Structure 1
């Protein structure tokens, strides 16, 4: 049994060596054949030279260098494309997700579960605002997800069996919300609770603007509820306008036709204009995704692939540098 560990990395020069040392220690105790696939997502620091030296020193470390920064969701997909193990683990390099939890994930897989995900019990080292917004996001996604249930307080740290990984790789849309795709494929799943640690070094690459955009990506990629909300809001405004128009007619018949006030007129115009712009914005978000899908561009380009020494019968690494 072999294990492929996917580690997307963007400007992680301060933590890569420490991460690999802890990972190697854990895997030595586990006693499994393994490879670590480091996906360098266009880093601008010394991450790539460090990974190249690590590959030369440890044959179990593979390096997949993308031609530019494509984003974490695409970097994870690239790593999954090149994984050859019987099971695949996705983990961040910043050590907020401890490698020491891997044996518990493997134990769940050996029990027969295809997906074993790490569920956060505590989020140390994060502000109350980030914890509150993350809590709200997961609850909203659970309510609007329909038949696909997004696990609460669960990131990308998880183990997938080979058949679950192959099923996931059939989903090739350009706008990728991986947490939603992980949930969409189904298969027997099991949570493993853990306390998330602060970053071991460096700074987070996720500011509030990027998190907001990721939230929009998740909602629009995972559900069409915003379009339904826009429809119902437009219907509600139309009903309100009809009732208000009837009220104006009745008041005119009874009390005559007084000159309407300017403030109330401006309030109605601005309200309707705001509703229309918001609805157009929602439609534009979905239309933009359709536009990007129809272009048919590859998800990513690989600048170089330094393959690990893991030998897996019948499973070769992808030969193409375009995927």
Structure 2
């Protein structure tokens, strides 16, 4: 009996790309003949006709299933919902815009079926087509994350990966509200193989990730998998206390020698502004962790379903 491969596809305003994605996978089914296929599309509260397209695909192919959210909950929620819905022995997560090359699926499946690996992940080796400043920040983010966290996050890592049921269950067991999938994938471990590919442009539509959204996403990742910023805040505080103590000594000595305690006020104003800035930075760092803890304690659902099939 063949094993089942579930293809999890988060979608947000992707009415143009969705039919192209389905057609592309359908045309290469012969290369995936060793398994049966299941499509799990997650409509993340799209405002276009994405849901209508998914319903049409379901009517023409009973292997196509979908989950439609009551509103936009984000890609992280979409991935989690797709993994929950998937019934496959193997599960692969893919972007509907075909920036995750379907041509890699046979190789990924072969590596999984050999039994040597529990997970086959992918990474981009270049960022052609991206703004240079965005690529620079992305590379720095991965370097920082690997230095300050216990999660194994490779530069250029994608959500595009194929996993055994054991890995999927491990990921689902992490039911945290504030999710950062790249970190979760690395944190759960298991024997993993990396496949590389060159950047591919979207087949249709426009990216939903602005620089600001990526920046917030990066902060979420750092807060979710590292307490290093809190340590940094403590270090800043200790350094500034030491600097303040040294300045007190300098002022006392200067007053005793020159008898002019009021001169130098411009530099003092700059010092006050610097210290105040560092204090606000440290408070902001602590606030981020408190906010995440606050959201976790509410125990809100990761997503709400409007309809599914």
Measured against the shorter chain, the TM-score band is over 0.9
1:212 corresponds in structure 2 to 215
Displacement of 1:178 in angstroms is: 0.5
Displacement of 1:127 in angstroms is: 2.0
CA RMSD in angstroms comes to: 1.1
2:274 corresponds in structure 1 to 271
Displacement of 1:103 in angstroms is: 1.0
- What is the rounded CA distance, in whole Å, between the counterparts of 1:107 and 1:263 in structure 2? 69
- What is the rounded CA distance, in whole Å, between the counterparts of 1:28 and 1:298 in structure 2? 39
Point out which structure has higher relative CO (alpha carbons under 8 A, 6+ apart). Answer: 1
The answer to whether the 8 Å contact 1:104/1:192 transfers is no
- What is the rounded CA distance, in whole Å, between the counterparts of 1:106 and 1:258 in structure 2? 76
Describe how 1:1-323 pairs up with structure 2 within 5 A.
Answer: 1-31=3-33, 32-111=35-114, 112-145=116-149, 147-306=150-309
- What is the rounded CA distance, in whole Å, between the counterparts of 2:4 and 2:199 in structure 1? 26
Displacement of 1:246 in angstroms is: 1.1
Displacement of 1:300 in angstroms is: 1.0
- What is the rounded CA distance, in whole Å, between the counterparts of 1:24 and 1:40 in structure 2? 20
- Which SS does the other structure have where 1:210 is aligned? helix
- CA deviations 1:294-323 (Å, max 9, x no partner) are 1111111111111xxxxxxxxxxxxxxxxx
Displacement of 1:171 in angstroms is: 0.3
- Which SS does the other structure have where 1:246 is aligned? helix
- What is the rounded CA distance, in whole Å, between the counterparts of 2:292 and 2:42 in structure 1? 25
The answer to whether the 8 Å contact 2:12/2:46 transfers is yes
- What is the rounded CA distance, in whole Å, between the counterparts of 2:261 and 2:146 in structure 1? 51
- Which SS does the other structure have where 2:232 is aligned? helix
- What is the rounded CA distance, in whole Å, between the counterparts of 2:172 and 2:148 in structure 1? 24
- Mind listing any 5+ residue stretches in structure 2 that lack a counterpart? none
- Which SS does the other structure have where 2:71 is aligned? coil
- Which SS does the other structure have where 2:175 is aligned? coil
- Which SS does the other structure have where 1:279 is aligned? helix
- Which SS does the other structure have where 1:123 is aligned? coil
- Which SS does the other structure have where 2:217 is aligned? helix
Displacement of 1:17 in angstroms is: 0.7
Task: Return the TM-score normalized by structure 1.
Answer: 0.92
- Which SS does the other structure have where 1:300 is aligned? coil
Aligned length: 305
The answer to whether the 8 Å contact 2:254/2:261 transfers is no
Displacement of 1:274 in angstroms is: 0.6
The answer to whether the 8 Å contact 1:8/1:75 transfers is yes
- What is the rounded CA distance, in whole Å, between the counterparts of 2:78 and 2:267 in structure 1? 52
The answer to whether the 8 Å contact 2:251/2:261 transfers is no
Q: Which moved more, 1:162-171 or 1:105-114?
A: 105-114
Displacement of 1:156 in angstroms is: 0.4
1:317 corresponds in structure 2 to none
